[in-house]
Structure 1
Amino acid sequence: MLQKDKLWTKNFVLLTFSNLFLFLAIEMLLPTLPLFADEQGGSGSQIGLLLGVFTFSAVVSRLLIGIGLRRFGKRKMLLIGVVICLLGMAGYYAAASLSALMALRVVHGFGFGIATALYGTLVSDAIPATRRGEGMGYFAMGNAVSFSVGPMMGLWLLEQYDYLGLFGAGVIFLFITLVLTLLVRQPRTHVGVAAVSEAAAGLEQKASPLSEVLEVKALVPSILGSLVGFAFGGMLSFVTLFSKDIGIEHTGYFFLVVAISEVLIRFVSGPLFDRKGPFWVLFPTAVLCMIASVLLYFTDSMGMLLLSGVFYGAGFGALFPALQAWVINLVKPERRGVATATYYNFFDIGIGLGSILLGVVVTMTSYTTMFLLSGILYVVFLVVYFAYLRRSAKAEG
């Protein structure tokens, strides 16, 4: 029996847990920062902008990843991103006006964009190629855990300790993130090769400015990721309001079920990706997301809502890391930073557009129609994916 390449190395564990604390600090602000802005006198549209400016700032920062990698390298760029996040979080203490809060969200988003792209890049370097799907799945569990625990923790901290305790906890989480990241080391045997590769990449990028902000080889999975993000943005923005509208309380259980389902599916989807390839994960999990959307359309009880959460968590929980692993497999090691940034940017742009455009759909029709339209997006996902597979088969033939 062949021995598997080692996955749970020191670097992998450090990067996985530091990524978890980074996302916990972000997710705990989702339900609480709008309350803070409201107390500052913010209108509904201004409160909505808090998410928008954060996302836009993250996208802009990732466009500069290629330049930053040439100048500082992967580890230093990651540390810069984490430090900026820490400063942004600490700055919320001094946010005496809505304009100051908006400015801090820009700073925080800028650091978050850098950090998320570089965590994905460095962890892909730490994962053996033969176990990339499995490793990316475990790494992304931090996102799933923070998705359920973060909002509940943020509301509890706000209730128990007011905003001082909320922002203080965020600073502590990001300080832990910084300490764990400082402990990350790349293998000595790879330093020389990495230096040569990054220097070569720098020469290549000078000849092609576009390559500093976009990895063309990652476009197809990134476009698919934007479709997933588009549908996810609608669900994230409106499932709570939908539940309230039909008389269902304690919607937090929905997010908890989604997170549990996300975690459990990755014990299956990651190894399946490594053994069989992307198709055997992307196709069935896109179908699971379709089923979840249809279930939301028919939901009229807590049981139906939680059942849709099971399907949505399993589908989204496998799709996101599988697409990211596919992106990493498509590019050379020195291009992983830009490729990961490309993927995250498309995904975040999808979330932003989904929140806005599907919100228009809700205004013009209903929540249930919006959920059904979200399901159709996964049909588009499969159409684009099958078109890519057909074109690839023709090129190889």
Structure 2
Amino acid sequence: MDAQEKSISKPSLWSRDFILITLASLFMSLAFQMLLPIMPVYAENLGGSTTAAGLVVGVFTFSAVIIRPITGRLLDLYGRKGVYLAGLVFFGLCVIAYHWTPGILILLILRFIHGFGWGAASTASSTIATDVTPKSRLGEGMGYFGLTSTLSMAIAPVLGLSILNRYGMGAVFNVSALSVLLCLAIALMIRYQKSEQTPQGNRGSIFEKSAIYPGLIILFLTMSYGAVISFIALYAGQQGINNIGPFFTVYAVALFISRPLFGRLSDQKGYSIAIIPGILAVSVALLILYFAHSLSGFCVAGFVYGLGFGAVQPALMAMAVRDVLPARRGAANGTFFVGFDIGIGVGAITWGAVAEITGYRMIYLLAVLPVVIAFLLYLGKDRLTGQKN
């Protein structure tokens, strides 16, 4: 009887469509993450400066910022399928176009255009995932859904660098494009919810008010993420570490541990049990990176950073979408990921400029500052609302 009551009170998470959107997200993330750590290196190979290396990440994320709220609105008005598939096609075409990049200026322009496809496809993917996840298990569901980016982080950077070293940059672009094609094939099998054009949804802004605060917190948090992901290979090389692949592996292992664990805890105990220790762990990881001189030090930092970021991000995402109308989920996801992308973009450009002056080490000390701001914002949210989340 107890087991039966538990089954009734806890709706199933692993439905057919949840599995399909999770698999599709995995291949999309593989295509994205495969390119992310090598693009700054590619920019330098084309004759770009360290600042330009940061810009190839920054312009990509800023174009994603532009398209995300528009995508959210289109998802709510016209449904998920067409927007998602169009974003994937655009994303894949841009990956193929990297074959014909003659110089740094064209690369920056193409990266800006590419960000539109990524922003549209990833916003649609997250919205579809929230559609097919039971509300009472939203934190847990987003934790598992987020593992797609975790797994891709473990595989894609190492795979991309290995392909680059053995076969050249063109082969990396081909494998990335193939991954997008697999994502598109899976996306065609998903049963999409029809658009719910309610009066509230039709009159709504392209931004969802309830998602602004978690979006602001993630903005400051991902400023540090931009430092870690964009410059870790270059920083490690400066320290005499030629193979930084193990950093991404232990980072991914930590994310695998923390995402579902803290996602489930945030559903049961509230957001603070995931967000507060998670932000503190991110701060500690950045300080470890600042003092690191060996691969083991980098790996310890990667593990701690993975634990922290894996705890915070799903909880903030659940906070952004949990209480919105189904017809406003696209806007809520768009609003949240605008903050996510702005943080990465501002971080990449800022830390690139800092590295130009001080070298790479100092950016990991300075990156603690926006994380502290994120922590204070979250504590301020509790006081402002009088709730304990």
TM-score, length of structure 1 as denominator length? 0.88
Corresponding residue for 1:375?
368
The residue type equivalent to 2:288 in the other structure is: L
Aligned-partner SS, 2:30: helix
Alpha-carbon distance in structure 2 between the residues aligned to 1:394 and 1:72 = 35
Q: Which runs of 5+ in 1 are unaligned?
A: 206-210
Check conservation: 1:218, 1:330, Cα contact below 8 A: no
CA distance in 2, matches of 1:274, 1:196: 29
Per-residue deviation, 1:117: 0.7
1:109 maps to 2:120: no
Identify the residue that residue 196 of structure 2 maps to in structure 1: 195
Which runs of structure 1 show a deviation greater than 6 angstroms over 4 or more consecutive aligned residues? Answer: none
Residue in 1 that maps onto 2:144: 138
CA distance in 1, matches of 2:172, 2:12: 38
CA spacing shift, 1:307–1:10, aligned 2, 3 Å: same
3-state DSSP of counterpart to 2:367? helix
2:35 aligned counterpart, secondary structure: coil
Does the C-alpha gap of structure 1 residues 76 and 159 become closer, same or farther in structure 2, counting only changes over 3 Å? same
Give 2:64's aligned residue. Answer: 58
Return closer, same or farther for 1:272/1:176 CA change in 2, 3 Å cut-off: same
Q: Does 1:309 align with 2:306?
A: no
Residues 95 and 360 of structure 1, relative CA distance in 2, 3 Å threshold: closer
* Deviation of the 1:261 alpha carbon: 0.5
With CA pairs under 8 Å and 6+ residues apart, which has the higher RCO, 1 or 2?
Answer: 2
1:335 to 314, 328, 344: 328
Tell me which residue corresponds to 1:237. 230
Distance 1:93 1:308, change over 3 A: closer
Q: Deviations over 1:301-334 (max 9, x none)?
A: 3333222221111001121121111111142221
1:186 and 2:179 are equivalent in the alignment: no
Pairwise CA RMSD of aligned residues?
2.5
Q: Which moved more, 1:18-27 or 1:378-387?
A: 378-387
1:300, distance to aligned residue in structure 2 (A): 3.2
Quick one: distance in 1 between partners of 2:387 and 2:173?
A: 55
Asked whether 1:222 is paired with 2:223, we answer no
Runs of 5+ in structure 2 lacking a partner?
none
Note the alpha carbon deviations across 1:30-73, whole angstroms, 9 max, x for none.
24445555555555554443222221221111131244235532
Match status 1:22 vs 2:25: no
Contact 1:85 1:107 in 2 (8 A): no
Question: Taking structure 1 as reference, are residues 87 and 239 closer, same or farther at Cα in structure 2, changes over 3 Å only?
Answer: closer
**d(CA) in 2 for partners of 1:257, 1:395:** 32
Letter in 2 for 1:133: G
Name the stretch that deviates more: 358-367 or 317-326: 358-367
Q: Distance in 2 between matches of 1:235 and 1:362?
A: 13
1:77 aligns with 2:83: yes
Q: How far off is 1:89 after superposition?
A: 1.8
**CA drift at 1:236:** 2.3
* Overall identity of the aligned pairs, in %: 34
Matching of residue 6 in structure 1 with residue 6 in structure 2: no
**Structure 1 equivalent of residue 351 of structure 2:** 358
Provide the rounded CA distance (Å) in 2 between the counterparts of 1:290 and 1:41.
34
CA drift of 1:166 comes to: 2.1
Contact 1:84 1:107 survives alignment (8 Å): no
Partner residue in 2 for 1:86:
92
Distance 1:392 1:314, change over 3 A: same
TM-score (norm 2): 0.90
Q: What is the rounded CA distance, in whole Å, between the counterparts of 2:151 and 2:343 in structure 1?
A: 22
CA distance in 2, matches of 1:39, 1:360: 18
1:293 paired residue among 286, 291, 310 = 286
Comparing 241-250 and 319-328, the one that deviates more:
241-250
Change (3 A) 1:178 1:393: same
Match of 1:253 among 246, 264, 278: 246
More displaced stretch, 126-135 vs 228-237: 228-237
In the comparison of the two structures, how many residue pairs are matched?
383
Distance in structure 1 (CA, Å) of the matches to 2:329 and 2:247: 34
Report if the CA contact (8 A) 1:89-1:108 is conserved: yes
Deviation at 1:365, TM superposition (A): 4.8
User: Which residue number in structure 2 is paired with residue 208 of structure 1?
Assistant: none
Letter in 2 for 1:140: G
Name whichever of 72-81 and 371-380 sits farther off. Answer: 371-380
Q: CA 1:123 to 1:299, structure 2 compared with 1: closer, same or farther past 3 Å?
A: same
8 Å contact 1:285–1:319 — kept in the other structure? yes
Whether the aligned pair in 1 keeps the contact of 2:266 and 2:315 (CA below 8 Å) is yes
Letter in 1 for 2:196: A
Label 1:327 to 1:379 Cα distance change in 2 as closer, same or farther (>3 A): same
